[in-house]
Structure 1
Amino acid sequence: MLYCAMDTHASGRSLRVLEKLPPFPEGWYFLTDRKTLEEKKLIERKWMGEEIVAWSDEEGRVCVADAYCPHLGSHMGPTVGGVVRDGCLVCPFHGFTFDTTGRCVAVPHAPAPKAARLRVYETHEILGMIFAWWGSGGREPQWNLPEEPPTGSDWSNLGFTRLRFRGHPQETTENSVDLEHLDYTHGYYDVEPTAPLAIDGAYLKSCFDFKNVRRFAGLVDIVSEVSAVTHVHGLGFSFVEIREKTVGMSARMWVLATPVADTRLEMTLVTQVREIRRPGRFFVGLGFLPVPLRHRLMSRFFLSEERRFVLQDVVIWNRKRYCVPPRLSRADGPIGRYRLYCRQFYPELRSRAEPTRRLGLVGVAGRPAGEGRG
């Protein structure tokens, strides 16, 4: 349930003050990866408070759709008996068959009824990660996700890890601008922004440097100097470019926060590490390891470390309450600007007097690339 209170601004205009965040902000949200989809053929999920299914046809086209058959309401997930046959989803109840556009293309003993259509969600794929659009009131996508970043044989395969906890994507994504918590919660130090916070429609960019101490292989502590550039595209998609200067490692991380139900969130961390051919500092024999082995080792280490850091946040998120208004200090950084940025993802709450801003499209590695749909 959403609770609102009324406040009055000095200008006399009434402003809505949220006491509880709506659970499903508009945006693109991670669902699965293509490898998993191809292995399982058909998957079912609780996603944005809805039961959905996903599959792909023989040409690789992905369909994400409501899990319930429009005929007589059977769930069509694999746990109920739904199957994919010749690239189409077949309902386990009466055999109604649907293609990846959601159209009913066959029933066992009659012509396919034209009115029998699945509700489908628009999808986008990045390096095999599959996202679906959740629009307020069924709205079409209001912005695009970024193009795939450059990749090649010098980049590792994607590593995945998932966490479920009580939370909200606005609260988790707020970490991208809450630099003060990096020191107090995670033990980073010398945390400094390296550029002003940039906002362009649904796109937000946060840049900062920091240092921390990491224990490698359980044997030695390494002082790590890191530069991070975070590209946020709505509250379900954050892409972080990382340069670790001590070792000379370049890495990427996607932080994908997907609401499952009203207060439940699934966070997927996806990492990718570039080969380190000339380590900036030899430690624990790293410089003498074969490059492929060193690459795999650093990929696993990076993913496990990022999971460890996020678990430190999960302890907070599990028992956190959304504060309105927050009593900020001068050290807090652009929390207020971030919250203003977030308002666009709740179009159902906008004042009719507030103009709808055109939202920017995005280009390679998450940088703005032009104007989008209004």
Structure 2
Amino acid sequence: MTTPNPANDARTPPVAVWQLLEKLRGQDLTDWRVAPLDGRPSPAERGLDIGFPFGWYAVEMADFVAAGQVKPLRYFGTDLAIWRGEDGKVRVTDAWCKHLGAHMGHGGKVHGNLLECPFHAWRYDGDEGTVKDIPYAKAIPPQVKRKCQRTWPVTEANGWIWVWYHPDQNVAPMWDVVVHDEVGDPEWTPFDTIEWTVYGSIQNMAENGVDVAHFKYIHGTADVPKAELRWGDWGRGADVKAQMGTPAGIVDGLISYDTMGPGQSWVRFRGISETLLVASLVPVEEDVLRVRYCFTQPKQQADGPGAGLARALIRDICKQLDQDKVIWDRMRYEPNPIICDGDGPIPQFRQWYSRYYAQPQGDTNLRAVG
């Protein structure tokens, strides 16, 4: 009698689903997506201590902070304070007051367009990074009359608040956020947003898109998808043509994936159901990412006869990220991977992606290059 080979046994489900996801449904699945992952190795052990790639990042939805409101944030391994002034403009600074170190995101106030510290009411200009007023003092110390606080470039687009990150705070934004006409269009649905916490790096997530072989073994696709790749100065993309089965038969589909910098990515799905996916991927720590997928579809489609297919497409996309998360949460970054002829263009991707890391002068060790 021949013993079946488990690798070829159709009864053996994909490892990610088999181990963690098969029995997760409803609220249990929602909770798992953002649950803490205790006992994981340090970022250094996993090769994730390479810094954050610079670019625009969608940190919060536009309605996160109202006019006159202050809130705390933590991204890029840094405590931040965010507020919206009376002029309607959002501002972000480092959180700690230069006076005695109070966290201004907790209990701070908006005074006009200034951020007022909750401890002694020192008032900061979120554009200049200076102290403009100390209500109980006759004079402002000269050290804080000049720039003393890091201010973060901010813009709003696509229903999100975007913050520019660069390890050198003096480097201004190098490109603009791409605006999507569908977002806010009355003919398109409001965002349907799903959230994950991924315990890994944003580069590993991005590399997944060119790792074509994993689609068969993690996602269970019948074949390895073929994509037409596009490489730009600061953005990249791919077009994947596929035949997809539906209750009405085979449909020719097109999946177009695009990025602008490491922090902005979006996917347009055409064929079964027209869908725009806008992704927010923001590093919190070196080994922690906050990931949010926002879906919008034409209302006529989402509420029409094909509504079931439209919802099923979103569920399937989220299922694939669930499967990837099981791997990302536990993988390390291999700076010198051994690549075989069935892999996608991983070395080319790493060479291209290295442009997002600010290297110290004279440092030629590009950790992002395999």
Same fold (TM over 0.5): yes
Deviation readout 1:274-309 (Å, 9 max, x if unpaired): 2345x9xxxxx952x8xxxx4xx7776554443322
Identity among equivalent positions (%) equals 24
Instruction: Name the CA distance, whole Å, in 1 between partners of 2:147 and 2:351.
Output: 41
* Paired letter, 1:128: G
Instruction: Name the CA distance, whole Å, in 2 between partners of 1:353 and 1:260.
Output: 27
Secondary structure in structure 1 of the residue aligned to 2:274: strand
- Give the Å deviation of 1:182: 2.3
Paired position in structure 1 for 2:76 = 48
Decide which of 200, 213, 217 is 2:232's aligned counterpart: 200
Structure 1 residue runs without a partner (length 5+):
4-17, 215-219, 280-284, 355-374
Deviation readout 1:118-163 (Å, 9 max, x if unpaired): 3111122222211111113324245213431223211111222221
Instruction: Name the CA distance, whole Å, in 2 between partners of 1:321 and 1:236.
Output: 21
Q: Which protein is richer in strand relative to its size? A: 1
Secondary structure in structure 2 of the residue aligned to 1:229: strand
What is the correspondence of 1:1-374 to structure 2 with a 5 Å cutoff?
20=48, 22-38=50-66, 41-78=69-106, 81-101=107-127, 102-110=129-137, 111-113=139-141, 114-115=145-146, 117-151=148-182, 152-195=185-228, 197-210=229-242, 226-243=253-270, 245-246=271-272, 249-277=273-301, 287=305, 294=307, 302-348=313-359
Deviation readout 1:231-258 (Å, 9 max, x if unpaired): 1222222111221x13xx2211122221
Contact 2:70–2:110 (CA under 8 A) maintained in structure 1: yes
Instruction: Name the CA distance, whole Å, in 1 between partners of 2:224 and 2:49.
Output: 29
Normalising by structure 2, we get a TM-score of 0.75
Instruction: Name the CA distance, whole Å, in 1 between partners of 2:72 and 2:189.
Output: 29
Higher mean C-alpha deviation, range 225-234 or range 260-269: 225-234
Normalising by structure 1, we get a TM-score of 0.74
The alpha-carbon distance between structure 1 residues 304 and 55, as it changes in their structure 2 partners (threshold 3 A), is farther
Paired position in structure 2 for 1:361 = none
Instruction: Name the CA distance, whole Å, in 2 between partners of 1:116 and 1:153.
Output: 43
Instruction: Name the CA distance, whole Å, in 1 between partners of 2:252 and 2:220.
Output: 13
Secondary structure in structure 1 of the residue aligned to 2:299: coil
Contact 2:48–2:287 (CA under 8 A) maintained in structure 1: no
Instruction: Name the CA distance, whole Å, in 2 between partners of 1:23 and 1:166.
Output: 15
Secondary structure in structure 2 of the residue aligned to 1:171: helix
The alpha-carbon distance between structure 1 residues 316 and 222, as it changes in their structure 2 partners (threshold 3 A), is farther
The alpha-carbon distance between structure 1 residues 139 and 162, as it changes in their structure 2 partners (threshold 3 A), is farther
Instruction: Name the CA distance, whole Å, in 1 between partners of 2:344 and 2:47.
Output: 22
Contact 1:61–1:100 (CA under 8 A) maintained in structure 2: no
Runs of 4+ in 1 over 6 A off after TM superposition: 220-224
Contact 1:177–1:206 (CA under 8 A) maintained in structure 2: no
Contact 1:238–1:254 (CA under 8 A) maintained in structure 2: yes
Contact 2:68–2:109 (CA under 8 A) maintained in structure 1: no
The alpha-carbon distance between structure 1 residues 169 and 353, as it changes in their structure 2 partners (threshold 3 A), is closer
Instruction: Name the CA distance, whole Å, in 2 between partners of 1:109 and 1:43.
Output: 25
Aligned length: 317
Structure 2 residue runs without a partner (length 5+):
1-41, 366-370
The alpha-carbon distance between structure 1 residues 225 and 39, as it changes in their structure 2 partners (threshold 3 A), is farther
Secondary structure in structure 2 of the residue aligned to 1:124: strand
